């Protein structure tokens, strides 16, 4: 199996374009062993980027990740997020310390502001820079930022240190293609796509199924390959069942044709005007 393609962060670090999400992990106390096994299988398959957040299961997802990466920390590019309610200077530092404890590690490779709140961006960035200087985070980024937010961020002290913007992006939610995606690509800031195969609705579309049949794959694999077709886009699907994890990994090697992409544009049209950034 070929190695997973990588993309480069502005800091010069290469990360895989396909990782593992953990949203909703840690919520069911009967399932942690399955979730830990899923993440470890993903690591075995080269899905070394793991995304989590203090919000997910109120820290429970980070605890699942701790078990999954035990003894394998150096294999993992670890991403976590701070809530906007914790985004003041002191609270960001305290939240990071709490995440480090739950994760059982001394560093988070990429620490994101989960979405914008009432704290001035300059204050949050200052906290990120303090954490980075202390070696507690490698780099920092943002999530759920629209084009204007990214422009404002670029204007604050040290705002140019942003490494990624994690946003909703899938066949059914293409709003970022109007301006945010191209602006990010021009700036060399990768976009990290959460929910890249949606919530399970659009993948049952018959026309999507026809494309999948042509390639001998599932509709979710087509949807994931579609997200990964761009340079500078990282996808972080969440999966627990082993067959889904293996299918996700295989999707990274699927190349859609120009005809496939044209058909998908007809079924799931690209945006024709600016719309508010979608969030779930």
Mean pLDDT of 240-255: 96
**If pLDDT is split at 50, 70 and 90, which confidence band does 28 have?**
confident
Q: How far apart are CA 243 and CA 84, in angstroms?
A: 35
Q: How many CA atoms lie within 13 A of 153 on its CB side?
A: 28
Domain ranges for the chain, please list them. 15-198+233-242
pLDDT over 90 (residue 203): no
Which residues carry a binding-site annotation for substrate? 114
Query: What is the rounded distance in angstroms from the CA atom of residue 85 to the CA atom of residue 116?
Result: 9
Reply yes or no on whether 56 is catalytic.
Answer: yes
The alpha carbon dihedral of 24, 25, 31, 35 has a sign of positive
Cβ–Cβ under 8 Å, residues 20 and 54: no
59, 65 contact by CB (below 8 A): no
Summarised one tens digit per residue, pLDDT across range 147-173 is 999 999 999 999 999 999 999 999 999
SS (H, E, C) 141-158: EEECCCHHHHHHHHCCCC
* Per-residue model confidence as pLDDT tens digits over 112-133: 999 999 999 999 999 999 999 9
For residue 143, list its beta bridge partners: 166
Q: Are 239 and 195 in contact (CB under 8 A)?
A: no
Among 56, 111, 169, 194, which one carries the catalytic annotation? Answer: 56
Top-tier CATH class for 15-198+233-242:
alpha beta
pLDDT at position 211 over 90: yes
Whole-angstrom distance, CA of residue 89 vs CA of residue 181: 29
pLDDT tens digits, 70-105: 999 999 999 999 999 999 999 999 999 999 999 999
- How far is it, in rounded angstroms, from Cα 159 to Cα 177? 23
Task: Identify the bridge partners of residue 226 per DSSP, sorted by sequence position.
Answer: none
Annotated binding site: 114
Closest CA to 248 of 41, 110, 75: 41
């Amino acid at each position: 199996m070929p190695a997973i393609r990588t993309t480069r962060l502005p800091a010069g670090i290469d990360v895989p374009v396909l990782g593992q999400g953990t949203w909703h992990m840690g919520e069911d106390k009967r399932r942690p062993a399955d979730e830990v096994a899923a993440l470890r299988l993903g690591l075995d398959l080269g899905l070394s980027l793991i995304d989590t957040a203090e919000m997910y299961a109120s820290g429970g997802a980070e605890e699942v990740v701790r078990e999954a990466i035990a003894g394998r920390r150096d294999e993992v590019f670890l991403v976590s997020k701070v809530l906007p309610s914790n985004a003041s200077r002191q609270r960001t530092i305290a939240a990071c310390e709490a995440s480090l404890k739950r994760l059982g590690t001394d560093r988070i490779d990429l620490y994101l502001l989960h979405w914008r709140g009432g704290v001035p961006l300059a204050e949050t960035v200052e906290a990120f820079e303090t954490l980075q200087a202390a070696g507690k985070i490698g780099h920092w980024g943002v999530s759920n930022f629209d084009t204007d937010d990214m422009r404002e961020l670029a204007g604050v002290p040290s705002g140019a240190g942003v490494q990624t913007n994690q946003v909703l992006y899938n066949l059914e939610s293409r709003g970022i293609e109007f301006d945010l995606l191209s602006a990010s690509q021009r700036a060399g800031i990768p976009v990290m796509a959460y929910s890249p195969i949606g919530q399970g609705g659009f993948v049952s579309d018959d026309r999507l199924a026809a494309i999948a049949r042509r390639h001998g794959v599932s509709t979710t694999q087509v949807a994931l390959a579609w997200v990964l077709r761009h340079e500078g886009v990282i996808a972080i699907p969440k999966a627990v069942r082993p067959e889904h994890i293996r299918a996700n990994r295989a999707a990274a090697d699927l190349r859609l044709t120009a005809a496939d992409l044209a058909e998908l544009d007809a079924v799931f049209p690209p945006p024709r005007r600016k719309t508010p950034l979608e969030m779930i």
